[in-house]
Chains A and B, each alone.
Chain A
Amino acid sequence: MINKVPGLRFMADALDLQSGPGRQHLLRQHLLTSAEEITYQLEKVAQLKSLLEDAAADRPDGKQLLESLKHALSEVHDITGTLTMLQSGLIPDDIGLFEIKRLALIIDRLSGILHTLQCNVVDFKDVSEIITILDPDKQRVPHFYIYDAYNKELADLRRQYDALSKMSSTPEDEQKAEKVRLQCLEIEDSVRESLTLQLKPFSQQLLKDLDALADLDIWLAKASLALRFGLCKPVVGHQNLIDHNGNSIEHRGETQYHNLFNPAIEDALKAKGKKYQPVDIMLDDAPCLITGANMAGKTVLLKTVALAQYLFQYGFFVPAESAVIVPVDRIMNSMDDEQSELQGLSSFAAEMLKINGIIHASRTNTRLLALIDEPARTTNPQEGLALVNALLDMLSQQNVRSLITTHYSGFDTNCRRLRVSGLRTDEISSKPTIETINDYMDYSLLEVHPAKDGQLNEEDEVPHEALRIAAILEVDEALLERAKWYLMSSGKQH
C-alpha cells in the first residue's frame, strides 16, 4: 500500500519511530474508516504534539524528560512471544524472565516520566508487583538470574558448588560438584515454575502494555512529524446517514483544505531556495472538474489530496493550515505510473481498467474518493471527450466524491468546475525560464461558474497556454511558429 500512494513513503520514512513494536504496529496499520477511531487517534497525536511543544517551555528539565522518554521507548524489545508463552502456562527460561523484568522496568520508568510531565496519553497498569517478583534483591537494575533469595537451599548448594569447584579438582570432587550442580538445576527449575505461576496473571496486562508502548511510540513520532512539516490537526467531517441495517448509505459533507501543500515537494523546493504555493480546495460528494495550463500543478494537486486523505485515515496530521476531512472507505486513483507498462498494458488500457474499477466500486455501498488525472488523454479527442463526459455523468449519479483533471473543453455536464489560475500575465517583467517558471505560475484554484444559459464565459474555457509554456521551455522556435500557423488557420475555418 505504502508504495502505491505517492508521497506516503516519504512521510513514513520521515517518521522517527524508536521501538521495534512501534515499527511493526505501523506496518500492520489499516486504513481507519470510522470517524470515532480517527478522532481518537488524532486526539492522541494532538496531546503529544502539545507535550512536545510545551514541555521544554514549562519546566527546565522538560527537554531532558522528553529525551529519556524517547530513550526508554528505544529500549523496548518485542517480547510478544514470551508473553503468549507465559499466558498459556509454559515456563520461560532465564532469557524470557529477563525480558519480562526488563519490560516491566521500562514501563515503570515511562510511567514515571509521563506522570512527571502530567501526560495521561497512555495508561500503563501498575507493574510494581511484577518487578517485586523478578527483583528479590531490590536492585532495580534490568539484570536477571535465579537469585539466591528465591530459595535458601539453592544459596547453600551454590556455596557448596563454589567450594568444590575451586579446589584443584580431584575426580572425586568433580563428581561431587556435578551432583551439586544437578541439584541446583532442579531447584532453579522449580523456582522458574513458581515464578511462572506468579507472573501468569500479569501476561494479559503486559501484552496490552506492549501495545500501548507501540501506540505511544507512533503517536509521539506522528507528533514530531507534524511539528517538523507544519502539519495541522484535521477536523473530522462526518455526516454519515445510516440506514436501518446500520450501513452508512451516504456521506454528505464537505472536505475542505486551507493552504494544502505537498511535504515532499515543499522539501525539495526549499532545498533549491524556493517556496511552495499552497492552495485551497473543497470537495463535496460529487465530481469536480479541474482545468488548467500545463505545469499548473494539477497532477501534484491530485496526488496531494490523495496523500492528505491517506494520512488522515492513518491517523496522521495533514499538510495544510487547516482542514475538514470526510472519511471514506476507499481511495481510488487513476494516475500515471510505471506499473502498467511492466504489465504489458498500453497507457490507455491501464487507465481504462482503473476507471472501470472506480465505476464498479461506485455502484457498491462504499464511500469513495476517486482521483482521476486527465482521463482519456491518450486517445483521439472526440472519443476522449465523450468518455470523460460519460464518466462525469456516472460519478454524478452515484455521488462520488472525486477530482478529475482535464485539458478537454466542451463538456455537457453541470458538475462543479475549478480552474488553476495559471501563468500570471500581469507581473511578468523578465522572460520566464524553465528554472523560474514556478515563480510566474499562480497555483491557486478559481471556481468557474457557468452563465445562466449554461454556457461558459470565454475566459473560463480551458486555458490555451500550451504554446506559451512550450516557448518558456525553449522548444524549437520553428516548431512553435508552425504550430501557431496551424492554430490560426483552423480558427479561420470555423
Chain B
Amino acid sequence: MPFVDEILKYKSLSIVGLEKNTGKTECLNYVLRRLEHSGRRLALTSVGVDGERTDRVTGTAKPETELYKSLIFITSEKHFRQRRISAEILEISTRSTALGRLVTARALSRGKVMFSGPADTLWLRQLINRMDAYNVDTTIVDGAISRLSHGSPAVTDSMILNTGAAVSASITKLISHTKFVYELIRIPVFEGVGSVGSVSGLSGVESLLTRESGLYALDENGTIHDLNIPSVFLLKDHEQDLFRHGNTLYVTGAVSDRMLDFIRMQKGFKNTTLIIRDFTRLFVKPETYRAFISSGHQLRVLLSTKLLAVCVNPVSPAGYVLNSEELCAGLSEVLQIPVYDIKKQ
C-alpha cells in the first residue's frame, strides 16, 4: 500500500473507525509492520480506553496491538502493568485518567500492550508535542469507537479512515455512508474574501481561529464583524441579525441541521459561504448537507486534515462477510481514491 510512505511526511496520524469492528486495530498493526524497518521513530497512543483482548460489546475476538522493539508508546498505568512486552519507562504524567496516570515507555522487545490514552483532545495534543523530546518523527493515535473528534486537524495532521461491514450489511448503504463522511473530510479550505482583513497582524484565517465562541460575518473587504449571537442554538432569537454583514459567515462551534436548513430557506440570500473550524464541527444528516450544497450554498473549513487512505473490513461482528472486491471497487469508484481491504494485506 503506497499510503504507508505518506504517513512519514506527517507529525501525527489518527486512525479513525466509522464503527466498532471496522478493522482499526488490524489497520494499525499493518501500518506498524510496514513502518518497523522504515528507520523512522514512531510513537503510539490512543484516545480513551481501547485494546481489550476481546470486544466488550460484541464478545468477538479482537486483535491486540503488536509493538516492535524501539517503538515508543503511551498507555495508562493499569494497562502498562498488564503489558506483555519488556519496556523502559521514560516518564509518568502528573495528571491522571480513569485508569491511572499515563506511562510513556520504549518497547525493548516485540510484544503486546493494551492501549488507553488521554481523555481529552487538548491533552492528546500536548502529548504529541511532548514526543519531540524523544525525537519521534510521527505519532500515531489509535482512535476510539465512532469518534471523529480526534481526527480533527487541530489534533492530528493526517488520518486513515476505516469502514466496513460493521457499518452496514448493505454495500450500497455502506458506500453511501462512507462517501458522506469522506465528503465532510474533504470540505475545501476557506481561501478568504477580498483582502481578508488582517486584524492586529494576523491573517484573516488566523484571526478567525482565535475566536472561541459566537458567530461572525466577513464583509466583502474581509472585515470581521461579530454578529453578537452567542450560539447557533440561539439563532431563533437573532434570525434577523444573521445576514447584517453579508453572506460569508463563520461559526465557531458546532453546526447542526437546523442551521443549514435555516440558511437554505432564506430565499433572499444566495451563495452563502458558511465557514467552520474543521469537519468535526459538523453534526448534520447527509440529506440536509446535500440539500444545502445543491441549493447553491457552500461550506468551507479553516483547517483541513490530510486523508491518507480509506481501509475496509468486509467482515462484520455479526459474522457475515461482504464481497471484498466488489466493496473495494465500489468505494474506489465513488471516492476516487484507492481503497484497501485491510485483511488481505
Residue ranges of A at the interface with B (Cβ–Cβ < 8 Å): 20, 77, 93-95, 98-99, 142-146, 158, 161-162, 165-166, 181, 184, 188
- Complex Cα distance, B194 from A444, in Å, reads 65
- The answer to whether A145 touches B80, judged by C-beta atoms less than 8 angstroms apart, is no
Q: List 28 A-B contacts (CB under 8 A).
A: A20-B94, A93-B81, A94-B89, A95-B77, A95-B81, A95-B89, A95-B92, A98-B89, A98-B92, A99-B92, A142-B91, A143-B88, A143-B106, A144-B89, A145-B86, A145-B87, A145-B108, A146-B86, A158-B86, A158-B108, A158-B109, A161-B109, A162-B69, A162-B109, A162-B110, A165-B109, A166-B110, A188-B86
Residue of B nearest to A147 (CB): B88
- Complex Cα distance, B111 from A142, in Å, reads 23
- The answer to whether A95 touches B80, judged by C-beta atoms less than 8 angstroms apart, is yes
Residue ranges of B at the interface with A (Cβ–Cβ < 8 Å): 69, 77, 80-81, 84, 86-92, 94, 103, 106, 108-111
When distances are taken between beta carbons in the complex, the residues of chain A under 8 Å from B106 are 143
- Complex Cα distance, B84 from A62, in Å, reads 47
- Complex Cα distance, B84 from A493, in Å, reads 98
10 further A-B contacts with Cβ under 8 Å, apart from A98-B89, A162-B109, are: A20-B94, A93-B81, A142-B91, A143-B88, A143-B90, A144-B88, A145-B88, A145-B108, A166-B110, A184-B86
Shortest Cβ gap from A19 to chain B (Å): 10
When distances are taken between beta carbons in the complex, the residues of chain B under 8 Å from A184 are 86
Shortest Cβ gap from B74 to chain A (Å): 14
When distances are taken between beta carbons in the complex, the residues of chain B under 8 Å from A20 are 94
Shortest Cβ gap from A58 to chain B (Å): 32
- Complex Cα distance, B88 from A146, in Å, reads 8
6 nearest A-B residue pairs (beta carbon): A145-B88, A165-B110, A98-B89, A144-B89, A143-B90, A143-B88
Residue of B nearest to A154 (CB): B86
- Complex Cα distance, B88 from A206, in Å, reads 23
Shortest Cβ gap from B164 to chain A (Å): 27
Residue of B nearest to A178 (CB): B84
- Complex Cα distance, B183 from A185, in Å, reads 50
Shortest Cβ gap from B81 to chain A (Å): 6
Interface of B, secondary structure class, is strand
Shortest Cβ gap from B335 to chain A (Å): 34
Number of A-B contacts (CB under 8 A): 41
Shortest Cβ gap from B246 to chain A (Å): 41
When distances are taken between beta carbons in the complex, the residues of chain A under 8 Å from B88 are 143-145
Residue of A nearest to B91 (CB): A142
- Complex Cα distance, B92 from A77, in Å, reads 9
- The answer to whether B89 touches A143, judged by C-beta atoms less than 8 angstroms apart, is yes
The residue that A77 contacts in the complex, of B81, B84, B94, with Cβ under 8 A, is B94
Shortest Cβ gap from B112 to chain A (Å): 11
- Complex Cα distance, B110 from A162, in Å, reads 7
Residue of B nearest to A98 (CB): B89
- Complex Cα distance, B111 from A184, in Å, reads 13
- Complex Cα distance, B89 from A77, in Å, reads 15
- Complex Cα distance, B108 from A145, in Å, reads 9
- The answer to whether A95 touches B103, judged by C-beta atoms less than 8 angstroms apart, is yes
When distances are taken between beta carbons in the complex, the residues of chain A under 8 Å from B77 are 95
When distances are taken between beta carbons in the complex, the residues of chain A under 8 Å from B86 are 145-146, 158, 184, 188
Residue of B nearest to A99 (CB): B92
Shortest Cβ gap from A204 to chain B (Å): 24
Residue of A nearest to B104 (CB): A143
Shortest Cβ gap from A431 to chain B (Å): 41
- The answer to whether B89 touches A145, judged by C-beta atoms less than 8 angstroms apart, is yes
- Complex Cα distance, B109 from A188, in Å, reads 14
When distances are taken between beta carbons in the complex, the residues of chain A under 8 Å from B110 are 162, 165-166
Shortest Cβ gap from A190 to chain B (Å): 15
- Complex Cα distance, B108 from A28, in Å, reads 42
- Complex Cα distance, B91 from A282, in Å, reads 54
When distances are taken between beta carbons in the complex, the residues of chain A under 8 Å from B90 are 143
Residue of B nearest to A162 (CB): B109
- Complex Cα distance, B91 from A98, in Å, reads 8
- Complex Cα distance, B88 from A145, in Å, reads 5
- Complex Cα distance, B109 from A161, in Å, reads 8
- Complex Cα distance, B88 from A94, in Å, reads 9
When distances are taken between beta carbons in the complex, the residues of chain B under 8 Å from A146 are 86
Shortest Cβ gap from A139 to chain B (Å): 10
Shortest Cβ gap from A144 to chain B (Å): 5
Shortest Cβ gap from A116 to chain B (Å): 25
Residue of A nearest to B69 (CB): A162
Shortest Cβ gap from B91 to chain A (Å): 7
Residue of B nearest to A148 (CB): B108
- Complex Cα distance, B11 from A133, in Å, reads 37
- Complex Cα distance, B103 from A98, in Å, reads 11
When distances are taken between beta carbons in the complex, the residues of chain B under 8 Å from A144 are 88-89
Residue of B nearest to A169 (CB): B110
When distances are taken between beta carbons in the complex, the residues of chain A under 8 Å from B111 are 165
- Complex Cα distance, B103 from A137, in Å, reads 22
When distances are taken between beta carbons in the complex, the residues of chain B under 8 Å from A77 are 92, 94
When distances are taken between beta carbons in the complex, the residues of chain A under 8 Å from B91 are 142
Shortest Cβ gap from B66 to chain A (Å): 10
Shortest Cβ gap from B125 to chain A (Å): 21
- Complex Cα distance, B133 from A142, in Å, reads 13
- Complex Cα distance, B93 from A99, in Å, reads 11
